[in-house]
Amino acid sequence: MVKFITLEGIEGVGKTSNLLFIKELLELSGQECVVTREPGGTPLGEALRGLLLSHSDENMSADAELLMMFAARAEHLNKVIRPALNNNKTVLCDRFTEATYAYQGGGRQLDVNKISNLEQWVQGDLRPDLTIILDAPVEIGRARAGKRSEPDRIEKEQDDFFQRVREAYIDLANQHPYRICLIDASLELKDVQKQIQKKLIEYKILMVNC
């Protein structure tokens, strides 16, 4: 049964907007949901998020960034995600480990083995049942995000960084077609939502076209 759903994609593609859309659909169908995000989701995770995203004169090393993502994730899994799944709730998470493969693996070009070792250590066999990657060209995501707020430490990266992130996400979808799907997020929001709703029905998360 699909209980752990994550949303992914480069900045501005619509993760937050569509997470709320999915939550509404699931709640209408009677499912209890926990909506959360990474990095974050716990007091320690949110503190780490502050450190990870805020600007500082000190250049954070890519290894430190990777380890902080997984430190936040370990706390999140222990305090929020596993308890919710054990209580038969559906967890909707704005980013998870696929973001680490995309940003630290693709963007920062860290050795993927470092990431998979940490993934196994921190998560054991737990993986999302379904990961929806909202895919759109970098310029579209950046234009949408740019309208909203000042860029954070990671958003300040150049377009080639985000291009590598996008490509890493596409690779992940090709490597794990049963649990990771790509949605064309360059379309109007209502058309993106139609694709998502179709996927939820295909994965039997929604039984009816509500």
DSSP state of 155: T
From the list 60, 64, 189, 207, which residue makes contact with ligand Z5A (rule: CB under 6 A)?
189
Q: Which region among 25-33, 74-82, 147-155, 200-208 touches ligand Z5A (by CB under 6 A)?
A: 147-155
Q: Considering only the stretches 7-15, 80-88, 174-182, 199-207, report the one whose residues sit in contact with ligand Z5A under the rule CB under 6 A.
A: 7-15
* Nearest C-alpha neighbor of 3 from the set 107, 101, 86: 86
Please tell me the distance from the alpha carbon of residue 124 to that of residue 198, in angstroms, as a whole number. Answer: 30
The encoded tokens of residue 65 equal 């960034």
Long-range Cβ contacts of 58-64 (<8 Å, 24+ apart): 60/153, 62/104, 62/108, 62/110, 63/110, 63/114
**Nearer Cβ to ligand Z5A (57/188):** 188
Residue 61 touching ligand Z5A (CB under 6 A): no
Residue with smaller CB distance to ligand Z5A, 30 or 105: 105
Which residues of the shown chain bind ligand Z5A in the complex (CB under 6 A)? Answer: 9, 11-17, 38-39, 69, 94-95, 99-100, 103-104, 144-145, 147-148, 154-155, 185, 188-189, 192
